[in-house]
């Protein structure tokens, strides 16, 4: 698949930070350099590449080494929680010592697919939270259909800083995460017509706690829905969130950019 041209010129002045990408995914193998050029032309000045510590996290760090505006994260996704062991934890510790490692993640709970047993997911989530706290790294948290158990774990944990990535929950749940000190990151899902609860989240999260992301190659925003997502498209998400908040798009994008830098220590 060829990269799609950057968003239209109305986004040209936006300063953007795509806080969650998977441009290390094999779906970008044929045109990765073009995708990265597109993101720069679209105003995406920083991005985090998320690696799977149960597979090949080195792909994320190789990209971070190759491009000064890319950073990396690694952790064991809840789908792979059953694979977690002491050797993988040791590998995560090694990757977190990398000069461009900005977060441990993505970690969390996913009860939609249940690809790992729920009790194992909860145990591995708690273990990785403790590891991140010990290593003084923020966490990137993935929660799907598991907010109750996630909050129970987070409330009793010695919590690191972090972000609820690709947030699709309610405003009530978002408030609980905010009260625990977390950031909320919105993806292309906020642009969908059937997402009124995400509109409420976008309108009510304090400006200094809000991030945007693509989660590419997944979750492409309107008007690119159905296509392979890429970092350049984060402009559409930023534009939609600004519209929902009644803000100038440039002002919102810059605020979200600064929030991402603050969370990830860039």
98 is in an annotated binding site: no
What is the DSSP code string of 240-265?
Answer: HHHHHHT--HHHHHHHHHHHHHHHHT
CB atoms within 10 A of CB 246: 8
22 is in an annotated binding site: yes
109 forms bridges with which residues in the sheet? Answer: 143
Residue of 204, 191, 202 lying closest to 235 (CA atoms): 191
Give the pair of three-digit tokens for residue 153. 């774990």
80 is in an annotated binding site: no
112 is in an annotated binding site: no
What are the percentages of helix, strand and coil residues in the chain, rounded to 5?
45, 20, 35
Residue 98 CB contacts under 8 Å (≥ 6 apart), including other chains: 61, 64, 72
Residue 88 to residues 44, 55, 59, 260, 264: CA-CA distances in angstroms?
32, 10, 16, 27, 23
Q: Residue 26: exposed, middle, or buried by beta-carbon count in 10 A (0-12, 13-18, 19+)?
A: exposed
93 is in an annotated binding site: no
Contact 253, 15 (CB under 8 A): yes
Contact 115, 125 (CB under 8 A): no
Residues belonging to the binding site are 20, 22, 106, 142, 165, 215
Binding-site annotation: residue ranges for a divalent metal cation: 20, 22, 106, 142, 165, 215
């Amino acid at each position: 698949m060829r990269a799609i041209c950057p968003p239209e010129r109305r986004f040209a002045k936006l300063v953007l930070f795509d806080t969650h990408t998977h441009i290390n995914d094999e779906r970008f193998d044929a045109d990765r350099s073009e995708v990265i050029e597109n993101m720069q032309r679209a105003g995406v000045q920083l991005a985090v590449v998320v690696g799977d510590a149960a597979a090949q996290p080195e792909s994320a760090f190789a990209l971070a080494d190759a491009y000064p505006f890319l950073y990396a994260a690694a952790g064991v996704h809840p789908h792979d929680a059953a694979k977690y062991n002491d050797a993988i934890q040791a590998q995560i510790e090694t990757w977190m010592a990398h000069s461009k490692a900005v977060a441990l993640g993505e970690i969390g709970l996913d009860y939609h697919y249940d690809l790992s047993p729920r009790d194992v997911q909860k145990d591995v989530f708690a273990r990785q939270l403790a590891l991140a706290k010990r290593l003084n790294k923020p966490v990137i948290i993935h929660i799907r259909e598991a907010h109750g158990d996630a909050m129970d774990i987070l409330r009793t944990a010695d919590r690191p800083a972090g972000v609820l990535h690709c947030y699709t929950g309610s405003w009530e749940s978002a408030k609980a995460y905010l009260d625990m000190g977390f950031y909320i990151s919105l993806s292309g899902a906020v642009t969908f017509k059937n997402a009124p609860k995400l509109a409420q989240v976008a309108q009510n999260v304090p400006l200094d706690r809000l991030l945007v992301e693509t989660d590419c190659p997944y979750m492409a925003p309107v008007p690119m829905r159905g296509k392979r997502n890429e970092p350049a498209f984060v402009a559409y998400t930023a534009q939609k969130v600004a519209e929902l908040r009644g803000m100038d798009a440039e002002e919102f994008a810059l605020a979200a950019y600064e929030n991402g830098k603050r969370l990830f220590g860039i």
